[in-house]
């Protein structure tokens, strides 16, 4: 695991990649800014936004930002460096990869890809909010301490530096957000949900790698050759030590199931399956239904190999397994009611939102 991948140096903004004695690798903030600007320019060049790239205001903003970061260490109150967390980086990579897939899939089937770009940010914001809210509800007593000042409580409520997102909550929150977006745009929710479903699982695949880096969502004891250990000071080690499962003075956990890797592989496999099934669906919402059913089944059984959650409501099932039962039933209902939504129809050409064909207009 590696919670912090590297640090961005603010006190030496033009320093290249270096590793201080006993510390983590660092890179100067100005180089980070140049990399971000280069990525932004490449993105718009690929999409052919030449007018935007020729706009002098864009280059002026980039230059002002570079100058500002060059002088930021003179402010006096900024830290020497800031961390780049593995979990957050993997979530970002998953978001970008899923967005890229959906963008080109939309073009391939004749939808306006700008709709996907707009919807993606609804998914991001509502997904993070839903995942965080689910985490706060599930681990309320661990996050908040009685008598805690309001300012500290608010900070802990939004502090994502150690993860603190529940995947199922993020899926529900992101789903509600994107459904709201399509409803407000008067577009067919189920047509676009089918198109976006593989991207959801791409995000799951990358996000679970982030869980491994963070040390959360760990597995139960394992005697198989691919079992993994977590070192002292990791999230996994601290949780198991607090439960009395580790001997005093232990430096590593016992061998554990790499459930984060199981879940990551599951996410990528489901992304492939739903991406292929899209071409064979008969009704709008079929891919969404299949995704809900398959994910809930795989998640239900992976939970038996995890050791980070206890049984809930006297059932012996974790909260995620209970959620999975509900998601499976939702998917089953969507699959059985597919004929009521009619047959799928695909537009023949890329059209602006206001002239989308009947297949995607509400």
Per the annotation, binding residues are: 208
- Kindly provide the b/e burial profile for residues 58-78, where b requires at least 16 CB atoms within 10 angstroms of the residue's own CB: eeeebeeeeeebeeebeeeee
Closest CA to 81 of 15, 171, 147: 15
Task: Please say whether the beta carbons of 260 and 211 come within 8 A.
Answer: yes
Centre a 10 Å sphere on the Cβ of residue 325 and count the other Cβ atoms it contains.
Answer: 12
CB 350 within 8 A of CB 111: yes
Q: What share of the chain is helix, strand, coil (3-state, %, to 5)?
A: 60, 5, 30
Cα separation values, 130 from 133, 165, 198, 289, 291, Å: 5, 8, 20, 21, 19
Distance CA 24, CA 14 (A): 17
Using DSSP's 3-state secondary structure scheme, residue 323 falls into: helix
Nearest alpha carbon to residue 284 among 330, 353, 337: 337
- Which residues are paired to 26 by β-bridges? 7, 18
Pick from 10, 13, 9, 8: nearest CA to 76? 10
Of 76, 67, 123, 75, nearest to 95 by C-alpha is 123
Type and span of the H or E element at 156? helix 150-158
| Residues 6+ away with beta carbon under 8 Å from 198 | 98, 101, 102, 105, 271, 272, 274, 275, 278, 287
């Amino acid at each position: 695991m590696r919670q912090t991948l590297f640090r961005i140096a603010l006190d030496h903004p033009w320093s290249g990649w270096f590793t201080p004695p006993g510390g983590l690798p660092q890179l100067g903030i100005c180089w980070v800014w140049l990399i971000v600007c280069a990525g932004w320019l490449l993105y718009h060049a690929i999409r052919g936004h030449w007018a935007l790239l020729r706009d002098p205001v864009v280059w002026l903003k980039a230059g002002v930002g570079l100058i500002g970061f060059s002088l930021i260490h003179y402010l006096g109150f900024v830290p020497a460096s800031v961390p780049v967390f593995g979990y957050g980086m993997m979530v970002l990579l998953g978001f970008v990869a899923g967005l890229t897939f959906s963008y080109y899939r939309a073009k391939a089937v004749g939808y306006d890809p700008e709709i996907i770009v707009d919807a993606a940010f609804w998914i991001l914001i509502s997904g993070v909010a839903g995942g965080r809210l689910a985490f706060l509800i599930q681990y309320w007593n661990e996050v908040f301490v009685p008598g805690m000042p309001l300012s500290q409580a608010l900070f802990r409520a939004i502090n994502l530096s150690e993860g603190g997102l529940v995947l199922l909550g993020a899926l529900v929150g992101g789903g509600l957000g994107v459904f709201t977006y399509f409803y407000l745009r008067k577009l067919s929710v189920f047509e676009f949900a089918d198109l976006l479903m593989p991207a959801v699982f791409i995000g799951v695949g990358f996000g679970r790698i982030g869980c491994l880096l963070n040390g959360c969502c760990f597995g139960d004891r394992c005697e198989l050759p691919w079992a993994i250990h977590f070192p002292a000071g990791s999230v996994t080690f601290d949780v198991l030590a607090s439960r009395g499962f580790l001997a005093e003075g232990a430096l590593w956990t016992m061998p554990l199931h790499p459930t984060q890797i199981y879940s990551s592989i599951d996410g990528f496999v489901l992304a492939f399956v739903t991406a292929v099934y899209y071409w064979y669906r008969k009704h709008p919402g079929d891919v969404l239904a299949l995704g809900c059913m398959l994910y809930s089944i795989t998640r239900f059984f992976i939970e038996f190999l995890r050791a980070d959650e206890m049984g809930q409501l006297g059932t012996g099932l974790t909260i995620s397994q209970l959620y999975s039962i509900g998601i499976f039933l939702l998917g089953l209902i969507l699959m059985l009611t597919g004929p009521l939504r009619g047959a799928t129809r695909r537009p023949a050409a890329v059209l602006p939102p206001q002239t989308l064909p009947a297949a995607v207009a509400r």
